[in-house]
Amino acid sequence: MAVKSLMELLESRDSSIINITSISNVVIPVWLNSKPGRMHRYWLRNDLNDSVTIWVGATSRNTLGLYLENDVVFRF
């Protein structure tokens, strides 16, 4: 029973960090674990310095969420 309790605790506390980086070396550390974390605002830029905002964060254990800012429209 003690080993089972310890294993459950380790699994619930186990986490990994993923670093999201940009071309300008801005780093956003995102922790993936059993508890969803807060979202980070991130600007994706191209070589013309145009940008679009996305939100990056852990939505659940082992799941990374990437969401566009509201009202973003792509036109080609």
- The answer as to whether 31 is a domain residue is yes
- The answer as to whether 12 is a domain residue is yes
- The answer as to whether 73 is a domain residue is no
Domain count, the chain: 1
Instruction: Take residue 26 and report the two structure tokens written for it.
Output: 């801005």
pLDDT average per 10 residues of sequence, the chain (76 residues): 75 73 78 70 78 81 80 72
- The answer as to whether 34 is a domain residue is yes
For residue 23, give its domain range. 2-68
Query: Tokens 């080609």 identify what position?
Result: 76
- The answer as to whether 75 is a domain residue is no
Q: Rounded to the nearest 5°, which phi and psi values hold at 29?
A: -80, 130
Neighbours of 33 (CB within 10 A): 17
- The answer as to whether 27 is a domain residue is yes
